[in-house]
Amino acid sequence: MDDDTTITPLHQPGSVEDPLTEIARDGARRMLAAALRAEADAFVARHAEETLPDGRQRVVRHGYGPERSIQTGIGALEVRRP
């Protein structure tokens, strides 16, 4: 009887086995986050002149939304929208 107990791990979707891929994924995550921040900042700036009857700004930022997964060419990325 053969007593071979070698277990070969299978590649899991979304897992990174290559440091270069992890660097690319981190760069993509940061680039996407910067683009989302820039878009939110531009939106707030476009509406900066609008005020409520009591004088407060009508459009303001309120932190970040929950983290969510976005599918990209190098796999899913977790990002938070501003």
How many domains does the structure of the chain reveal? Answer: 1
pLDDT single digits (tens) 22-56: 888 889 889 988 999 999 999 999 999 999 999 99
Q: Is residue 14 part of a domain?
A: no
Q: Which candidate, 82, 71, 65, places its Cα nearest to that of 14? A: 71
| CA 56/CA 81 separation, integer angstroms | 24
Distance, in Å, from the CA atom of 19 to the CA atom of 2, rounded to the nearest integer, reads 37
- Structural domain boundaries enclosing 60: 20-80
Domain-located, residue 30: yes
52 phi/psi in degrees, rounded to 5? -85, 165
Model-wide pTM > 0.75? no
Decide if 2 is inside a domain: no
Does pLDDT of 1 surpass 60? no
Radius of gyration of the chain (CA): 22
Q: Read off the pLDDT of each residue in 57-81 and give the average, rounded to a whole number.
A: 86
Q: How many CB atoms lie within 10 A of CB 42?
A: 10
Residue 48 lies in a domain: yes
- Is residue 12, in this structure, part of any structural domain at all? no
Check pLDDT > 80 for residue 17: no
Could you tell me how many helices (H) and strands (E) the chain has, helices first? 1, 2
Residue 74 included in any domain: yes
